[in-house]
Amino acid sequence: MRVTRTVTTSVLLGFAIGASAIFAPASAETAEEFYKSKKEMIMVVGSAPGGGYDGYARMLARYMSKYLPGQPNIITNNMPGAGGVRAANFVANIAPKDGSVISIMDRGLPTAPLLYGENSNTQFDPSKMNWIGSASSESGMAVFGARSPAKTLMEATKVEVVLGSTGAEGDTAMMPRMLNEMFGTKFKIITAYKGQPEVVQAVQKGELDGLFMSGWSGQTRELLLQMYARKEVGFLVQMGFKRDPDVGDVPTIMELIKNDDDRQVMEVILGRLELGRPFVAPPGVPADRVAVLRKAFSDACADPELVLEGDKTRRYIEPIDGATTQKMIEAVYKTSPEVIAKIRSYVKPPAAQ
């Protein structure tokens, strides 16, 4: 198995700048010939090293290589910024559109243009991206630390609670803003963090009151459950359709919502979490190469060694294939204009308020 290594952003930029000359596809070249000719590919990660997305990216990069023609080494590149928006815009607009660059994307970004409209900083059409698949589905969790003045959602309506996030358009910032509108909570979001591990560390140090996790899985989940057992953190609400049995006394957001309109809004928001850990290729990649990437992804997710590694690291593999991922995104974009208008009124970034 090939070892995945990390490159700097400057190297990736150079890779992209020379793409027109180096990666111009020959019209008669098959997808198999293309990948056999590549010694290396790039996997862009829109978050800092050490987080859930980064862990899934590095794991899938190693195993996808096994199932691609020629087994090119897939090099991971971390490009954090604006909750993954910087990396997503790079992949959509600058990266080579030949199948040599792929990415793991923050699950909230495929629907950001829909939910934020002209206020979104995303610069791509998700329906034109080539979705390779998702490694798992997700749910969320609102976490509070020892310094938090609120221990329940109701208490958070009476006092300001300071939360950490990686960007204004990510789910970790959008969810508390939405609850501010629905319930009158007083969440204040600080979006200066590179990744979720840094946010958790800030909560541990008492610099923050808490955080909203949009991905309740992996090593961060295990860490927080250990902290929960030591009474170092608590949980305000579960952002999912059903309770996690490990914290079965914590209500889900759907249990707390009484208004039918708000329930429709939340069903769309939670449905987006099912995108989990989506992998994507830029728009314009030839269809036969997209098919090869999707097959390699599916084959990798079925690899017993990958499944075992995922179990050991708590990065569980519950794959969604590329075609289904594409349909899930298309389905969200068919949400009624009335519901979308309601969502936009709830989730708009502070600059738009």
Per-domain residue ranges of the chain: 6-137+275-335, 140-272
Q: CA 146 → CA 41, 142, 214, distances in Å?
A: 44, 14, 21
Average pLDDT over residues 297-318: 95
Average pLDDT over residues 105-109: 91
Mean pLDDT score of the chain: 89
Domain spanning 6-137+275-335, CATH architecture: 3-Layer(aba) Sandwich (3.40)
Better-predicted residue by pLDDT, 41 or 171: 41
**Token pair 């829909």 in the structure block, residue:** 114
Instruction: Tell me which H or E stretch contains 234.
Output: strand 233-239
Better-predicted residue by pLDDT, 346 or 33: 33
Average pLDDT over residues 133-154: 94
Share of residues in the chain with pLDDT > 90 (%): 65
Cα–Cα distance measured from residue 315 to residue 310, given in angstroms and rounded to the nearest whole number: 4
pLDDT of amino acid 349: 67
Match domain 140-272 to its CATH number in 1.10.3720.10, 3.40.630.30, 3.30.1390.10, 3.40.190.10. 3.40.190.10
pLDDT of amino acid 115: 87
Reply yes or no on whether the pLDDT at 135 is more than 90. yes
Task: Give the range among 26-35, 101-110, 271-280 with minimum mean pLDDT.
Answer: 26-35
Reply yes or no on whether the pLDDT at 25 is more than 80. no
Asked if 6-137+275-335 and 140-272 have one fold, the answer is: yes
Average pLDDT over residues 146-171: 93
- Main-chain phi, psi angles of 270, to 5 degrees: -70, -30
17 CB neighbour count, 10 Å cutoff: 12
Cα–Cα distance measured from residue 5 to residue 2, given in angstroms and rounded to the nearest whole number: 9
Q: CA 194 → CA 9, 49, 85, 107, 282, distances in Å?
A: 15, 9, 12, 16, 24
Q: Which band of pLDDT confidence, cut at 50, 70 and 90, is reported for residue 14?
A: low
Reply yes or no on whether the pLDDT at 321 is more than 50. yes
The DSSP result for 113-175, as a single string, is: HHHHGGG----S-GGGSEEEEES----EEEEEETT-S-SSTTGGGTS-EEEE-S-TTSHHHHH
- At 205-244, the pLDDT tens digits run 999 999 999 878 777 888 899 999 999 999 999 999 989 9
Better-predicted residue by pLDDT, 2 or 34: 34
Q: Within 13 A of 213's CA, how many CA atoms are on the CB side?
A: 32
* 79 contacts 12 by C-beta, under 8 angstroms: yes
Q: Which band of pLDDT confidence, cut at 50, 70 and 90, is reported for residue 11?
A: low
